[in-house]
Amino acid sequence: MNHYLNKAKEKNSQTFSFVRFHEDYVNSHIDDLISKPLHGAPIGLKDIILTKGYISSCGSKMMKDFVSPYSATCFETLEKNGGLMVGKTNMDEFAMGSSTETSYFGKTINPHGINRVPGGSSGGSTAAVAADLCIAALGTDTGGSVRQPASFCGIVGLKPTYGRVSRYGVQSMASSLDQV
């Protein structure tokens, strides 16, 4: 796990996939998660997914210091099964975009070329996986925000059946269409 965390921190300047890393979270949870099904697998989380005690800014200056008082159900499920949050991935501000160029924190670059956008709004998540900075990442998809950037970055992105994955604790854009 520390290999992925160190690699992500070192190489993030090439893609700007992550807006922040959570080394303290990794170090405090790795021993508990290693014995679970995902064995402490390094996972990126889109910055719109709430995590108790950590900043979730939705790619926005307005929320750049917002520390969530609770965690999203999808994150709790991931954690319960041994997934380890490396950090929060970049995104179009409030998930309103298709290129991951509108984040307050800067634009994400497709790892396949500096002149290519990674797609959006979950472009930070897909670019992080494509650049091998984590083995998987959670994003959100309303109208293609996981599937489109996954195709731009040469990886697989899934939008589960509506209601299959809880959206509780995920900042919404269009709650009747949003999926994790």
User: How many domains is the chain built from?
Assistant: 1
The C-alpha atoms of residue 40 and residue 26 are separated, in whole angstroms, by 9
Q: Which domain holds residue 74?
A: 2-153
- Helical pair 123-130 and 2-15, crossing angle rounded to 10 deg: 120
Q: State the maximum Cα–Cα separation within the chain, in Å, rounded to a whole number.
A: 42
Residue 171 counted as domain residue: no
Q: Comparing C-alpha atoms, which of 78, 104, 81 is closest to residue 91?
A: 104
pLDDT tens, the chain, 180 aa long = 788 888 999 999 999 999 999 999 988 888 887 789 999 999 999 999 999 999 999 999 999 999 999 999 999 999 999 999 999 999 999 999 999 999 999 999 999 999 999 999 999 999 999 999 999 999 999 989 999 999 999 999 999 988 899 999 998 776 766 668
Where residue 140 sits, what CATH number does that domain have? 3.90.1300.10
Residue type, 78: L
Residue 108 counted as domain residue: yes
Copy the structure tokens of residue 147. Answer: 């599937």
Active centre residues (catalytic): 46, 121, 145
Residue 123 counted as domain residue: yes
Copy the structure tokens of residue 126. Answer: 């897909």
